Amino acid sequence: MKRFVATGCLFALAISAYAQSSDQKVLIPASKEVQRVYMSPDEFGKYKGAYDLSNGKTLYLIRKATRLYARVDEQNEHEITRAGSGKFQALDGKMWMELVWANDDSVSGSLNYIDESQPMAGLEPKVISIRFASR
């Protein structure tokens, strides 16, 4: 009889431990190995400024000392680096963009970023993909 009680208690503890472990989810962003690429102030001057996006928000590209940053409206700034001609990506992997210059100096392109404006507990971060409207 004691064995049945002991087995039952162990079984109940195992089920409760399993139930507790399956309810909790932790989102850990994958770290990307992104190498910082230096751009001179003159070279970045072509890109620096504000860009109107097709969703009504604004992308800001700024330089602080030797570091380049991007942010969308009032969200967090992300340090960015060049990833190719007219391409930039955030060192934290939360933003990447491509800027395409036309002959008339207008800019088009695309921006992908993780929306941090409305964090939702337990849900995957939402990636926003939008086009540039103007500069």
- Check: CB of residue 117 under 8 Å from CB of residue 94: no
**pLDDT score, position 63:** 94
Q: Is the model's pLDDT at 115 over the cut of 70?
A: yes
**pLDDT score, position 3:** 66
pLDDT-based confidence at 123, cuts 50/70/90? confident
**pLDDT score, position 24:** 47
CA distance 8 to 10: 5
Calculate the alpha carbon distances from 61 to 9, 30, 124, 128 in Å.
61, 24, 26, 17
* Beta carbons within 8 Å of 106's beta carbon, 6+ residues apart: 134, 135
- Check: CB of residue 92 under 8 Å from CB of residue 114: no
State the burial class of residue 41 (Cβ atoms within 10 Å of its Cβ: 0-12, 13-18, 19+).
exposed
Span 4-63, pLDDT tens digits: 566 665 556 566 655 554 444 445 455 556 678 888 889 899 899 999 999 899 999 999
**pLDDT score, position 5:** 60
Least confident of 12-16, 65-69, 111-115: 12-16
Q: What is the mean pLDDT of residues 89-115?
A: 91
